[in-house]
Amino acid sequence: MTTSLAPQTDLDPMRTPAAAAAHRIASGTAAPDDSGGAPALSVRDLVLEYPDGERGVLRALDEVSLDLHAGTFTALVGPSGSGKSSLLAVAAGLVPPTSGTVTVAGRELTGLSRTERTGLRGREIGVIFQQPNLIPSLTAAEQLELSVHLDRDATRADRKAARDRAMALLERVDLADQAGKRPHQLSGGQRQRVNIVRALMASPALLLVDEPTSALDRERSAAVVDLLGALTRDEGTATLMVTHDHEFLAATDRTLNMVDGRLTD
The yes or no reply on residue 47 touching ligand ATP (CB under 6 A) is no
The nearest distance, CB 131 to ligand ATP, in angstroms, is 13
The nearest distance, CB 233 to ligand ATP, in angstroms, is 26
Amino acid at 239: T
Size of the site for ligand ATP (CB under 6 A): 14
The nearest distance, CB 85 to ligand ATP, in angstroms, is 3
The nearest distance, CB 53 to ligand ATP, in angstroms, is 10
The yes or no reply on residue 259 touching ligand ATP (CB under 6 A) is no
Residues 6+ apart with CB under 8 A from 194: 132, 134, 140, 143, 144, 170, 173, 175, 183, 186
**160 close to 135: Cβ distance less than 8 angstroms:** no
The yes or no reply on residue 86 touching ligand ATP (CB under 6 A) is yes
Q: Which is nearer to ligand ATP, 86 or 190 (CB)?
A: 86
Helix or strand run (H / E) with residue 228: helix 218-235
The yes or no reply on residue 178 touching ligand ATP (CB under 6 A) is no
The nearest distance, CB 248 to ligand ATP, in angstroms, is 15
Applying CB under 6 A, the span of 33-41, 67-75, 84-92, 146-154 interacting with ligand ATP comes to: 84-92
The yes or no reply on residue 98 touching ligand ATP (CB under 6 A) is no
CA triplet 120, 116, 94: central angle to 5 degrees? 65
Q: Length of the chain in residues, anyone?
A: 265
Amino acid at 231: L
The yes or no reply on residue 232 touching ligand ATP (CB under 6 A) is no
The yes or no reply on residue 243 touching ligand ATP (CB under 6 A) is no
The nearest distance, CB 133 to ligand ATP, in angstroms, is 17
Q: Using CB under 6 A as the criterion, what x/- string covers residues 53-82 for binding ligand ATP?
A: -----x-x-----------------x-xxx
φ/ψ of residue 116, rounded to 5: -65, -40
The yes or no reply on residue 49 touching ligand ATP (CB under 6 A) is no
Q: Which of 69, 84, 117, 198 binds ligand ATP (CB under 6 A)?
A: 84
The nearest distance, CB 50 to ligand ATP, in angstroms, is 3
Q: Which is nearer to ligand ATP, 72 or 85 (CB)?
A: 85
For residues 44 and 61, give the distance between their C-alpha atoms in angstroms, rounded to a whole number: 11
Own/partner pairs, 76-79, CB within 8 angstroms, 24+ separation: 76/240, 76/241, 76/242, 76/243, 76/255, 76/256, 76/258, 77/242, 77/243, 77/244, 77/246, 77/249, 77/255, 77/256, 77/257, 77/258, 78/257, 78/258, 78/259, 79/259
Q: Which of 35, 169, 40 is nearest to 92 (CA)?
A: 40
Residues 6+ apart with CB under 8 A from 229: 73, 239, 251, 252
The nearest distance, CB 76 to ligand ATP, in angstroms, is 9
Task: List contacts with ligand ATP (CB under 6 A).
Answer: 1-3, 50, 58, 60, 78, 80-86
